[in-house]
A = this chain, B = another copy of it.
């Protein structure tokens, strides 16, 4: 048995899916959940996602050998602080936050000599639906999980978190905290920002619902991520603010190149930009197809 007592702090889509995946693989004896919403926690018990729940974070983490933080990023520091004195000395703590710099800062500040037992993590998986009812044992199958260990991180803590995610079906990769936050700002946080901004722009137009009648599949796909959880994305934006604003400035330059080409009637330039983007996007499709082929 990999884990004896697993504490899931935040039994939503990600926390719930991890619990399901590990239970299916018989990788943990007992899963205890903690959250603020008792109805959701009872639902999680009814669905068999967790075995029991605690109404205090203290009793949830007490005796747990592994603690997984799966709550919105804004709660990380407070939760770590409130669980600190109840943690076992040999505990392993990990998280699933979409930004890593701010989480590492919070862990360093609150966990002191337990900091080496903390393994920062981020599964690249999700849906625009949230809550334990959307959780799914297959969510991480063939998805990447990024771990961003630090020089201080304990090797055995890292090994266990690695194995835990592999058992959940994921491919684990290790990158630095800085790299993670830079890459995710570009591939995930910025696209969410743009989708939210576009939909909000349309929402502000007269006869918005009339306009939607003429929206096709392209718009549906482009804007799907604007249906994501607002609180979660609010937290991500503030947690990864520095990298996000940096890539937003860069994006602005590229968008401005397009605008300038259109304004100045620069046909060659516009065609060059669109062709380069298409070529890049087609390469991404090929990479994805190759990955999917390899796992089939």
Contact = CB atoms under 8 A, between A and B. Distances in A.
Interface of A: 124-126, 143-144, 146, 173, 183-184, 186-188, 190-205, 208-231, 233-234, 237-238, 241, 244-245, 247-248, 250-251, 253-255, 257-259, 262-263, 265, 267, 270-271, 273-278, 280-285, 287-288
A217 to B, nearest CB: 8
A96 B265 CA distance: 23
How many copies are assembled? 2
Q: Which of A187, A208, A271 gathers most chain B CB within 10 Å?
A: A187
Contact of A214 (B146, B203, B205, B270): B146
Contact of A124 (B214, B233, B288): B214
Tell me if A's interface is mostly helix, strand, loop or mixed. helix
B214 A254 contact: no
A270 B237 contact: yes
A196 B233 CA distance: 23
A273 B196 contact: yes
A224 B214 contact: no
A192 B218 contact: yes
A82 B190 CA distance: 47
A221 B218 contact: no
**Most B-side CB within 10 Å, residue of A126, A280, A283:** A280
A214 B184 contact: yes
5 contacts: A188-B218, A190-B198, A230-B277, A231-B271, A245-B262
